[in-house]
Amino acid sequence: MKHTLSILVNNHPGVMSHVSGLFTRRGYNIDSIAVGVTDDTEVSSMTIVLNGDDFVVGQVKNQLLKLPDVLKVQDMAYANSVQRELVLISFSITEANRGEALTICNGFGVKILEMTEDSVLVEFSGNSRQVTNFISVVKPFGIREISRTGQIAIAYRNQNSV
Amino acid sequence: MSQASEAITGGRLMVELLEEAGVEIVFGYPGGAILPFYDELYHSKKIKHILVRHEQGAIHMAEGYARSTGKLGVCIATSGPGATNLITGLTDAKMDSVPILAITGQVATTDIGTDAFQEADIFGITIPITKYNALIKRADDIPRHFEEAIKIAMGGRPGPVLLDFPKDVQIQKTTAKKAEKLKIAPHHYERPKVKGDPQEFAEILNQAKRPLLYVGGGAINSFASAEIKALAEKANAPVTTTLMGLGAFPGSHPLSVGMLGMHGTAYANKAVLECDYILNLGARFDDRVARYQDFAPNAIRAHIDIDASEFNKRVNVDYILHGDLKDAIREILPFIKGGDRSSWISTINQLKKDHPLDFDNSGEVIKPQDFMHKVYQRSKGKAIVSTDVGQHQMWAAQYYLFDEPNTWLTSGGLGTMGYGLPAAIGAKFGNPDKTVICVTGDGSFQMCIQELATIAQSKLGVKILLFNNNFLGMVRQWQELFYEERFSESQWTYNPNFVKLAESYDIPAMRIEKKSDIDKGIEFFLKDENAALIEVMIPAEEKVFPMIPSGKSQKDLIEFKDLGKMKK
Of B124, B128, B132, B127, nearest to B100 (Cα)? B132
* B309·A42 Cβ contact <8 A: no
* B307·A66 Cβ contact <8 A: yes
Averaged pLDDT for residues B471-486: 96
Per CB-CB distance under 8 Å, the chain B contacts of A42 are 183
Each residue's pLDDT tens digit, B325-383: 999 999 999 999 987 899 999 999 999 999 999 999 999 999 999 999 999 999 999 99
Residue B465 contacts residue B421 (beta carbons within 8 Å): no
Averaged pLDDT for residues B53-58: 98
Averaged pLDDT for residues B317-328: 97
Amino acid A142 reads G
User: The dihedral of CA B315, B319, B324, B330: what is its sign?
Assistant: negative
Amino acid B305 reads D
Per CB-CB distance under 8 Å, the chain A contacts of B313 are 59
Per CB-CB distance under 8 Å, the chain B contacts of A63 are 309
Of B124, B403, B139, nearest to B247 (Cα)? B403
Answer yes or no: is pLDDT of B3 > 90.
Answer: no
Is the CB of residue B313 less than 8 Å away from at least one CB of chain A? yes
List chain A pLDDT tens, one digit each, 162 residues: 889 999 999 998 889 999 988 988 888 888 899 999 999 999 999 999 998 888 888 899 999 999 999 999 999 887 789 999 999 999 999 999 999 999 999 999 999 999 999 999 999 999 999 999 999 999 999 999 999 999 999 999 887 654
- Least confident span in A58-62, B217-221, B316-320: A58-62
* B309·A59 Cβ contact <8 A: yes
**pLDDT value for B338:** 84
Select from A11, A56, A62 the residue whose CB has the most chain B CBs within 10 Å, as the one to mutate to test that interface: A62
Is the CB of residue B152 less than 8 Å away from at least one CB of chain A? yes
The shortest CB-CB distance from A63 to any of B134, B148, B309 is to: B309
Helix (H, G, I), strand (E, B) or coil at A125: strand
Answer yes or no: is pLDDT of B4 > 60.
Answer: no
Is the CB of residue B481 less than 8 Å away from at least one CB of chain A? no
Per CB-CB distance under 8 Å, the chain A contacts of B311 are 62
**pLDDT value for B144:** 97
Residue B128 contacts residue A63 (beta carbons within 8 Å): no
- Please list the alpha-helical segments (H only) found in B355-450: 368-378, 391-399, 420-430
B117 a catalytic residue:
yes
Separation in Å, CA of A10 to nearest CA in chain B: 7
Report the helix count and the strand count for chain B, using DSSP H and E: 22, 20
Query: Phi, psi at residue B478, to the nearest 5°?
Result: -65, -40
Answer yes or no: is pLDDT of B256 > 70.
Answer: yes
Strands A43-51 and A2-10: antiparallel
B118 a catalytic residue:
yes
Separation in Å, CA of B137 to nearest CA in chain A: 12
Query: Phi, psi at residue B117, to the nearest 5°?
Result: -60, 130
**DSSP annotation of A3:** E
Of B247, B219, B190, B221, nearest to B97 (Cα)? B221
Per CB-CB distance under 8 Å, the chain A contacts of B148 are 68
Each residue's pLDDT tens digit, B413-443: 999 999 999 999 999 999 999 999 999 999 9
**DSSP annotation of B191:** P
**pLDDT value for A29:** 84
The residues pairing with B34 across neighbouring beta strands, listed in sequence order, are none
Each residue's pLDDT tens digit, B97-118: 999 999 999 999 999 999 999 9
Each residue's pLDDT tens digit, B549-559: 988 999 999 99
Helix (H, G, I), strand (E, B) or coil at B182: coil
Is the CB of residue B123 less than 8 Å away from at least one CB of chain A? yes
Could you please report the per-residue DSSP string of B271-317? HHHH-SEEEEES----TTT--GGGSSTTSEEEEEES-GGGTTSSS--
Answer yes or no: is pLDDT of B451 > 50.
Answer: yes
**pLDDT value for B406:** 98
Residue A100 contacts residue A137 (beta carbons within 8 Å): no
Is the CB of residue B128 less than 8 Å away from at least one CB of chain A? yes
Q: Which of B167, B367, B428, B463 does the annotation list as catalytic?
A: B167
B167 a catalytic residue:
yes
Each residue's pLDDT tens digit, B136-154: 999 999 999 999 999 999 9
| Average pLDDT in chain B | 96
Is the CB of residue B288 less than 8 Å away from at least one CB of chain A? no
pLDDT band with cut points at 50, 70 and 90 for residue B567: low
Select from B309, B313, B314, B315 the residue whose CB has the most chain A CBs within 10 Å, as the one to mutate to test that interface: B309
Q: Which of B24, B118, B137, B491 does the annotation list as catalytic?
A: B118
Query: Phi, psi at residue B561, to the nearest 5°?
Result: -70, -15
Separation in Å, CA of A95 to nearest CA in chain B: 53
Q: Which has the higher per-residue pLDDT, B292 or B278?
A: B278
- Least confident span in A21-35, B169-183, B482-496: A21-35
Chain A contacts to B (CB-CB under 8 A): 10, 14, 17-18, 21, 25, 42, 55, 58-59, 62-63, 65-66, 68-72
Distances (CA, A) of B424 to A146, B54, B87, B140: 61, 15, 19, 37
Separation in Å, CA of A6 to nearest CA in chain B: 16
Residue A63 contacts residue A19 (beta carbons within 8 Å): no
B55 a catalytic residue:
yes
Of B75, B72, B52, nearest to B430 (Cα)? B72
